[in-house]
Structure 1
């Protein structure tokens, strides 16, 4: 068994951690499961015991061969593919399933965004990420860790940090601590605007974090400061605040005003 640095492979080998993931992070109900990046299958061996229909998505051909030698098709569907190209609807149709995975650090954000976009086919996700990323995901307005990732995840799901995982739980050992997060999908209370426009405004706001919101929105949306000030004042937002000080529903207010002016 080789860990390939290019694929960001750090294999979870601690049985106690694996058992906690199953016990605290995976629903007891019999719903479809998909595991992202099973590697040599340490977590997979416990997941198949649940008798849920289970898919394992693995990019590394060598690990796919290992899994195929150990598991049978009636207990596990092994797919050799890039998880960023997976549409969970292709696995379980119009049902809703649950995603489990130790996400490679180097593509954590793209993977999270990819599956958040498929939230209508997921009941939730239990993912292990770098602790720093977990802190960003759970951060609220006023925190330096709060940003686009925080907003994207919290808009789609309730976030529960389950526990931290030390480097010694992996082989080879990473240089950082990890955190297991449980994300339960749900509509964000009170959110009712166009998501694409909403995220255009959020990205503009966070493009230059050190600048005030009036400056970042003006530059990012291509409008004058006077126009930006008018939008912010109508939304009840201080133009001197920074992007990290503004909550989701306040960004929605900006979006709704922006959309009304565009008509």
Structure 2
């Protein structure tokens, strides 16, 4: 398992050459051996492209395409996302789910700080929902979900994308994106998909998906350029054809919007999401 390949983290002091040369800030990097980092690069290129698309059309959706530099066969350098903790690390120091953790970190529900953090979680969750629908990243356990210090979600580790998943495609992660029960508690306090924040989330997902569809050919071309690379994500099935199908080019905008609404409701408390988290906890001790 990839988790058994122990990486090394080193923190550098980096000088800002564009500004004040006295401005030195720490930058941590992970040196990894035994994984083909080119697949992460591919996923992050698509995520970077989506971020640019969202910005170009004026959508307030958050994505963080961190840096990855392959340095040889099955080795590379990975930027550590600053000011973040994984969900599993949060569980080591705090009891309760995200709803309770956000109250502990940002204040009571309804306070400006809590609602700002909830909004940050919402816009980042929607951004990664669109990216996840297209890229189909798997192995979305709580060690691969980061939260920054203002409440934004960041996905890391794209060792399984498109047609591949851990365990020989056993379909444990059948939802198009991860939306666990504790996530829905933040996004939908009503618990029945009636909250203002839930409707905001779905609306942003729909707008992000429709924006991505307009740039479908560019996104597909970005992935297609790596088709002959020998990456695992191209080793089975029809990854390019299935990626195109997820854009549903045959649909009108109204039909595509309804499709994305269905994707969101399908992901809501999908039982396989909780099941996969439980398997990870039992196998590797990764907190649910």
- TM-score, reference length from structure 1: 0.31
Structure possessing the higher relative contact order (Cα contacts under 8 Å, 6 or more residues apart):
2
- Structure possessing the higher radius of gyration over alpha carbons: 1
- TM-score, reference length from structure 2: 0.30
